[in-house]
Structures are given as C-alpha cells and as structure tokens.
C-alpha cells in the first residue's frame, strides 16, 4: 500500500472515531437534560398525588370521623384506606376499606362498590371488643352513605386524573426518547468497536498472571481458542458474516531449562470465523477491552 494512501486511511479512521465520540457526548447531554425534565415531572406528579390524597382524606373523614376513637388515624391510598389504632407495638390496622370497580373497566371514575376487610379473632379483650364496635359503626355508614361516598371519590379521582394524564404522558415520552438515545449510543459504540477491530485490532487487559480471565473465542462449533489477548479482522467475506482474523494468544508454559513457568505470546491467523461469534466474545468481555 502506498504510504500516502495509508496516511489518508489513518486520518479518516481517526476523524470518524472523533466524530462518533463527539456525537455520543452530545447524546449524553440530551439524556441528562431529559432526565432533569423527568425529575421535574416526577415532583409535579408527587404534588398532584399529595393534593389528591388530602382531598380523599377529607372525604373519608367527613363520613367516618365519628367512627374513630381518640388516637385513631386514617391512612389513605388511591384505592383504599386503613383505620389504624394505637396498640402495644405501634399503630395497628383494625380494618381496611377498598374502593372497587365491579365491572373491572379500569377506567377512572367507575368505582361502584366499597369492600371491607378485617381480621378475625377469638380474643374478647377490651381492645378487640372496641375494634368490633368500630367495625359495626363503619358498616352502618357504608349501608347509609355508600353511593354518596363513591360519588365523591369518583369526582376527586376524575379531577386529578385530568392533571396526571398529561404529566405522565410527558414523562413517558421523555423516557422513550432516552431509551432510543441509549440504543443509539450502543449502535455508535458498536460501530467504533468494529472500526477498531478492522484497523488496529482490539486488545484485552487483565491483572498480571490472571490469564484465565482472557476471552475465549469459538472458531468452529467444536474448536475454540483460549487466552485471547488481541484480535484483529484481516478480511471479511463478501456477505460480511465471516472474516479472516488474527489472534494474539498468551498463556503460561513451563520452561524446563529455566525451571519455571513463563509467559508465552503467539500469533496465529484463522479463516472464515463467524462475525456473530466475534461480536459475542467482544460483548461478554467489554469490561476488559483496552480503550
């Protein structure tokens, strides 16, 4: 190859790698900007849910407050609430009221039933007897005002869903953009790696004497080469699915003259090795590739 042509090829490869690296940096900056916007949207969503929880808490207190004893509290969720009472080992849930959609439409605003859950016991101490009284009071409220409670609940959920939907969509859109950008980075890095593989070759770095950590490459289905320290593609087949490669292999061998083990490095070429096998080896060992 003429020297001038060789220099032109080197300059082109260097320029290509530099452009790719710059593009990755730009993409990462975009991802960071998107992440910042996602964090803001999460804070907005958190505030919306907090406001919704306050309104739901007010709704449930309106109907069930008179059922509570001094020290009782409500723990409100989007689809249920607990009545909790102080006990020897901290607050204890004495019952849970679930808001249900019996049609399983999964549409906001379609709740049409209140379901009650509580534990049963054979104990009849004062705590359990008072708990039973509370359960009875709650049951009576549900019998008398279930429709009103559900109407208030559905109204609150629909109102806040109108605020949450655009926020969630904006967040999902940014998440998707970031996933696409990460995929683009992987594609660029793969192209850089393939470019290096076909030019200077790719080396692997290990701690001294830990040759067992070097990659193993499948040459054929029944033949593999261990201790690969460097790999280089010499020539690809017209389809690009196979390549002639050069492998630099290192291992320890016993030197009988010196009476000790020594490092051996040898270079061999192999014809028509599948590119998917090479790519798989590079992927498995990317953490030890010399950059």
| 88 and 142 share one domain | yes
| 182 and 104 share one domain | yes
pLDDT band (50, 70, 90) for residue 261: confident
pLDDT band (50, 70, 90) for residue 19: low
- Quick one: pLDDT at residue 102? 86
| Mean pLDDT, residues 119-131 | 90
Residue 3: inside a domain? no
| Mean pLDDT, residues 61-85 | 92
CA neighbours within 13 Å on the CB side: how many for 21?
9
| 117 and 250 share one domain | no
pTM, two decimals, is 0.72
- Quick one: pLDDT at residue 215? 93
> DSSP for 92-128?
EEEEEEEEE-TT----TT---EEEEE----S--SHHH
SS3 44: helix
| 24 and 103 share one domain | yes
| Mean pLDDT, residues 256-262 | 82
- Provide the domain limits for residue 262: 202-288
Rounded percentage of the chain residues whose pLDDT exceeds 90: 68
pLDDT band (50, 70, 90) for residue 10: very low
Q: Which of 204-208, 248-252, 283-287 has the lowest mean pLDDT?
A: 204-208
Residue 7: inside a domain? no
| 141 and 164 share one domain | yes
- Quick one: pLDDT at residue 2? 53
Give the chain's mean pLDDT.
89
| 94 and 60 share one domain | yes
Residue pair 92/82 in contact by the 8 Å Cβ criterion: no
Measured between alpha carbons, how far is 38 from 34 in angstroms, rounded to an integer? Answer: 6
The phi and psi torsions of 247 (rounded to 5 degrees) equal -115, 135
| Whether the predicted pLDDT of 34 surpasses 60 | yes
| 51 and 137 share one domain | yes
| 193 and 111 share one domain | yes
- Quick one: pLDDT at residue 5? 47
| Mean pLDDT, residues 53-62 | 94
pLDDT band (50, 70, 90) for residue 20: low
> DSSP for 166-186?
HHHHHHHHHHHHHHHHHHHHH
Number of domains in the chain: 2
pLDDT band (50, 70, 90) for residue 259: confident
Measured between alpha carbons, how far is 151 from 146 in angstroms, rounded to an integer? Answer: 9
| Mean pLDDT, residues 247-268 | 87
Residue 9: inside a domain? no
| 110 and 230 share one domain | no
| Whether the predicted pLDDT of 11 surpasses 60 | no
- Quick one: pLDDT at residue 7? 42
| 86 and 132 share one domain | yes
* pLDDT one-digit tens code per residue, 166-191: 999 999 999 999 999 999 999 998 88
Range with the largest mean pLDDT of 12-21, 141-150, 220-229, 250-259: 141-150
| 85 and 144 share one domain | yes
- Quick one: pLDDT at residue 139? 95
Residue 2: inside a domain? no
């Amino acid at each position: 190859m003429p020297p001038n042509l060789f220099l032109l090829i080197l300059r082109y490869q260097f320029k290509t790698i530099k452009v790719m690296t710059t593009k990755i940096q730009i993409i990462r900056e975009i991802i960071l900007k998107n992440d910042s916007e996602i964090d803001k949207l999460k804070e907005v969503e958190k505030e919306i849910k907090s406001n919704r929880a306050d309104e739901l808490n007010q709704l449930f207190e309106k109907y069930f407050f008179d059922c509570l004893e001094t020290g009782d509290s409500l723990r409100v969720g989007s689809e249920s609430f607990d009545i909790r009472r102080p006990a020897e080992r901290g607050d204890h849930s004495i019952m849970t009221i679930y808001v249900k959609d019996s049609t399983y439409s999964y549409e906001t605003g379609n709740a049409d039933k209140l379901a009650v859950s509580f534990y049963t016991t054979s104990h009849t101490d004062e705590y359990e007897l008072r708990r039973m009284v509370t359960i009875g009071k709650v049951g009576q409220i549900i019998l008398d005002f279930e429709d009103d409670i559900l109407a208030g609940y559905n109204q609150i959920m629909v109102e806040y869903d109108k605020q949450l939907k655009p926020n969630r969509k904006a967040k999902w859109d940014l998440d998707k953009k970031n996933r696409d950008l990460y995929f683009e980075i992987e594609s660029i890095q793969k192209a850089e790696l393939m470019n290096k593989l076909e030019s200077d070759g790719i080396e692997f770095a290990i701690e001294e004497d830990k040759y067992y950590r070097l990659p193993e490459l499948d040459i054929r289905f029944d033949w593999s080469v261990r201790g690969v320290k460097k790999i280089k593609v010499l020539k690809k087949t017209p389809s690009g699915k196979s390549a002639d490669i050069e492998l630099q292999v290192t291992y320890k061998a016993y030197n009988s003259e010196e009476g000790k083990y020594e490092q051996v490095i040898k270079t061999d070429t192999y014809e028509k090795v599948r590119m998917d096998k090479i790519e798989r080896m590079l992927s498995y060992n990317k953490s030890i590739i010399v950059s």
